[in-house]
């Protein structure tokens, strides 16, 4: 059986008896072994996945299977799964086994999804290349000398290499959409609060969102539909009812004209690859030819978004990661002599360079004398960004931009942290303002690497965004 199939293609093969869940899992396990050098997986649940596949096949035969029967998923290594290890790809959580499952995992399992393993990522989801994992970098399966993007690099590598049907990642500033752009996949981040964060190891709590990485928009819509909704364990999860995203795609009126804003500053950005800009121009012309209204709008805050994002997220990381002290669980230094040395040495040895950099930066911006100058000012910038974004959506249905300024770059090519941080320049807006955003793989560069187009919509308009995106993905 071929891998790299969409879920609808897999279900068609299962329905026609061309394949079973068990045979599908066996195919994936074989490819995982063949592609182990990609370093996509931290752990493979081989026996468990086969056993569950057999159970799901029985439920399919009895016509009692859930909506995800036949979907084989990988979980980013910061999403908890009861009875399984989770480390956020950090030494600090060495040997830790989760006592409960994330709400998204419970909802997937309830619909008969098969979880095949946990996937490598940048340590504590801090990175744009998946080179910050304590367990080594992930390679891009489309060109193994390139990064897959980050922080959900293992998730995109697994899907792009055909090692699972889909994967879950987390998106704090673009960590689903940026790597999806680098690997030719669909990466979707719902609006803040649409998907429960219960069971997600926190990086920056007011930014983080769990979302799907898939081979097409329909699969992303289906997974998001299932994992979305209120959750008693997450006070930030919205009580807004969840529409049928997949039904909206099926019934979408492709002839309905839409108003789409093009951010002028993104389009004119000197850092944007000329070929990506040329492709965006072609997509814009195609949309106009299809009857949609597109117009340039000013968003003169492009240079402020990344600095504001890193001030706020590092501040939240400083708070969130203070719980890892080597006392109750996880890594503990062998050189400890008292409680003070236990904290200092365990954290110094357990955290990687990038994580320590961000903790120190976050502690600095929250410190007395600098709080107003940095943290408080960044919060004010965040409000300005949200107000301007909401103002744009008073007149437009969507905002279109490139997903990334460049295609996947070489492993170990970017040494300067600030240059690495700027890889998120087009994606952080959605996290700063809490709106849904998607990267759709429509382009291919002359270097033979893919790249995506990003669409954003008003908060809680995921249904419209996904339906419209399903028409854009045909522009390949």
For 54-70, the pLDDT digits (tens) are 999 999 999 999 999 99
| Continuous segment of H or E residues that includes residue 261 | strand 259-263
For the whole model, what pTM was predicted? 0.96
Instruction: Report if residue 125 sits inside a domain.
Output: yes
CA-CA-CA-CA dihedral for 320, 138, 26, 177, to nearest 10: 60
Residue 279: its pLDDT value, please? 97
Instruction: Report if residue 411 sits inside a domain.
Output: no
Q: Indicate whether 42 pLDDT > 70.
A: yes
Residue 3: its pLDDT value, please? 56
Instruction: Report if residue 115 sits inside a domain.
Output: yes
Q: Average pLDDT, stretch 355-368?
A: 96
* DSSP code for 87: -
Q: Average pLDDT, stretch 4-29?
A: 96
Query: Would you place residue 272 in the very low, low, confident or very high pLDDT band (cuts 50, 70, 90)?
Result: very high
Q: Is the dihedral of CA 183, 185, 191, 192 positive or negative?
A: negative
> In 169-237, which residue ranges form alpha helices assigned H by DSSP?
177-183, 217-227
DSSP states along 341-409: HHHHHHHHHHS-HHHHHHHHHHHHHHSTTTIIIIIIHHHHHHHHHHHHHHHHHTT-SEEEEES-SSSPP
Q: List the single range of 134-143, 170-179, 237-246, 292-301 with lowest mean pLDDT.
A: 237-246
Residue 469: its pLDDT value, please? 97
SS3 188: strand
- What gap in Å lies between CA 237 and CA 231, rounded to an integer? 6
Residue 339: its pLDDT value, please? 87
Instruction: Report if residue 452 sits inside a domain.
Output: no
- What gap in Å lies between CA 204 and CA 126, rounded to an integer? 10
Which residues form the domain of 110?
7-250
Are 357 and 417 within 8 A, CB to CB? Answer: yes
CATH number of the domain residue 231 falls in: 3.90.1300.10
Query: pLDDT tens digits for 71-124?
Result: 999 999 999 999 999 999 999 999 999 999 999 999 999 999 999 999 999 999
Query: pLDDT tens digits for 181-233?
Result: 999 999 999 999 999 999 999 999 999 999 999 999 999 999 999 999 999 99
Query: pLDDT tens digits for 305-356?
Result: 999 999 999 999 999 999 998 888 889 998 888 888 888 999 999 999 999 9
The CA–CA distances, whole Å, from 74 to 93, 133, 165, 194 equal 20, 17, 8, 21
Residue 63: its pLDDT value, please? 95
- What gap in Å lies between CA 247 and CA 259, rounded to an integer? 22
- What gap in Å lies between CA 15 and CA 100, rounded to an integer? 34
Number of domains in the chain: 1
Mean pLDDT score of the chain: 96
Residue 4: its pLDDT value, please? 85
Helix 462-472 vs helix 217-227: angle between axes, to the nearest 10 degrees?
160
Instruction: Report if residue 355 sits inside a domain.
Output: no
Query: pLDDT tens digits for 415-446?
Result: 999 999 999 999 999 999 999 999 999 999 99
Q: Indicate whether 34 pLDDT > 80.
A: yes
- Residues with active-site annotation: 76, 151, 175
Instruction: Report if residue 113 sits inside a domain.
Output: yes
> For residue 221, which phi and psi values (nearest 5 degrees)?
-65, -45
Are 443 and 451 within 8 A, CB to CB? Answer: yes
Q: Is the dihedral of CA 153, 154, 160, 161 positive or negative?
A: positive
For a pLDDT cut of 70, what percent of the chain falls above it? 99
Instruction: Report if residue 188 sits inside a domain.
Output: yes
* Residue among 119, 45, 106 at smallest CA distance from 77: 119
């Amino acid at each position: 059986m071929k891998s790299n199939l969409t879920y609808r293609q897999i279900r068609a093969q299962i329905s026609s008896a061309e394949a079973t869940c068990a045979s599908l899992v066996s195919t994936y396990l074989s490819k995982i072994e063949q592609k182990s050098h990609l370093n996509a997986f931290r752990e493979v649940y081989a026996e468990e996945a086969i056993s569950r596949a057999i159970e799901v096949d029985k439920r399919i035969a009895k016509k009692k299977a859930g909506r995800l029967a036949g979907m084989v998923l990988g979980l980013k290594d910061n999403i908890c799964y009861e009875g399984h290890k989770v480390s956020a790809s950090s030494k600090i959580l060495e040997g830790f086994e989760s006592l409960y499952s994330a709400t998204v995992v419970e909802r997937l399992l309830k619909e008969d999804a098969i979880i095949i393993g946990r996937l490598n990522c940048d340590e504590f989801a801090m990175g744009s290349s998946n080179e910050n994992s304590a367990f080594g970098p992930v390679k891009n399966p489309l060109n193994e000398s390139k990064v897959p993007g980050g922080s959900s690099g293992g998730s995109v590598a697994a899907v792009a290499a055909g090692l699972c049907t889909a994967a879950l990642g987390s998106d704090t500033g673009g960590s689903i959409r940026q790597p999806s752009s680098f690997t030719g996949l669909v990466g979707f981040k719902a609006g803040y609060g649409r998907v429960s964060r219960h069971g997600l190891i926190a990086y920056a709590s007011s930014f983080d969102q769990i979302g799907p990485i898939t081979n097409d928009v329909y699969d992303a819509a289906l997974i998001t539909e299932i994992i979305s909704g209120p959750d008693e364990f997450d006070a930030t999860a919205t009580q807004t009812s969840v529409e049928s995203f997949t039904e909206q795609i099926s019934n979408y009126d492709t002839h309905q004209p839409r108003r789409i804003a093009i951010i002028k500053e993104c389009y004119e950005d000197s850092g944007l690859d000329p070929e990506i800009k040329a492709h965006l121009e072609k997509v814009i012309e195609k949309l106009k030819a299809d009857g949609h209204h597109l117009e340039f709008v000013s968003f003169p805050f492009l240079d402020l978004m990344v600095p504001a994002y890193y001030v706020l997220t590092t501040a939240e990381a400083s708070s969130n990661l203070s719980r890892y002290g080597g006392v109750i669980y996880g890594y503990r230094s062998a050189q400890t002599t008292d409680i003070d040395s236990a904290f200092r040495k365990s954290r110094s040895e357990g955290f990687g360079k990038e994580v320590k950099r961000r903790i120190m930066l976050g502690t600095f911006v929250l410190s007395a004398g600098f709080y107003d100058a940095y943290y408080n000012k960044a919060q004010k910038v965040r409000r300005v960004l949200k107000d301007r974004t909401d103002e744009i959506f008073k007149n437009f249905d969507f905002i279109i931009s490139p997903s990334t300024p460049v295609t996947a770059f070489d492993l170990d090519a970017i040494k300067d942290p600030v240059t690495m941080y700027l890889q998120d320049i087009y994606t952080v807006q959605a996290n700063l303002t809490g709106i849904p955003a998607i990267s759709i793989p429509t382009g291919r560069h002359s270097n033979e690497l893919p790249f995506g187009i990003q669409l954003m919509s008003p908060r809680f308009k995921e249904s419209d965004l996904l339906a419209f995106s399903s028409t854009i993905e045909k522009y390949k």
